[in-house]
Homo-oligomer: A and B are copies of this chain.
Amino acid sequence: MLTPYDDTYFMKKAYEEAEIAFEKGEIPVGVVVVIKNRIIARGHNLTETLNDVTAHAEMQSITAAAGFLGGKYLRNCTMYVTLEPCQMCAGALYWSQLSRLVFGAKDEHRGYQKFGVQLHPKTEVSQGIMEQECSQLLKKFFIEKRNLN
């Protein structure tokens, strides 16, 4: 059976969250958390709005998804995030025991893979979904920001 629910479908939803962040003047990163093709949490970066370095899209979405599930572990969940998670968010994902992580653009400078941060052994990783779009949105943000300063 054909289904619209593939990785690109959900990454588009995460991308929409990133666009909301962009409109708010936040570094445009968006997330959705999915279980059985159902989105149970959405989030976008709010570090400037909340004056809080911990307010990354992933962190908020982990908390929100756990709240929805009524338990703190994200087993059987997939997180779609437009940018490779940083050390903090990957560390949080480790604790969450997330089943699958799908990210769009790679973060060469601050991504967790550079630092050797460990995800949970049960977490599968896919990368590069909508990589160009996710990356372009970030580039556009930083170019506009530079021109404003």
List residues of chain A with CB under 8 Å of any chain B CB. 47-48, 51-54, 59, 62-63, 66-67, 70-73, 86-92, 94-96, 115-118
Indicate how many identical chains form the complex.
2
Name the contact of A72 in the complex, choosing from B53, B87, B92 (C-beta under 8 A): B53
- CA–CA, A118 and B96, complex, Å: 21
| Residues in B whose Cβ lies below 8 Å from that of A92 | 53-54, 88
Query: From A58, which residue of chain B is reached at the shortest CB distance?
Result: B54
| Residues in B whose Cβ lies below 8 Å from that of A67 | 51-52
Name the contact of A53 in the complex, choosing from B87, B88, B96, B115 (C-beta under 8 A): B96
**A117 with B66: CB separation less than 8 A:** no
- CA–CA, A62 and B50, complex, Å: 12
Name the contact of A116 in the complex, choosing from B52, B53, B90, B115 (C-beta under 8 A): B115
Name the contact of A54 in the complex, choosing from B47, B59, B73, B117 (C-beta under 8 A): B59
- CA–CA, A118 and B91, complex, Å: 12
Q: Known pairs A53-B95, A54-B59, A90-B91. 5 more at Cβ < 8 A?
A: A86-B95, A88-B88, A88-B90, A115-B115, A117-B117
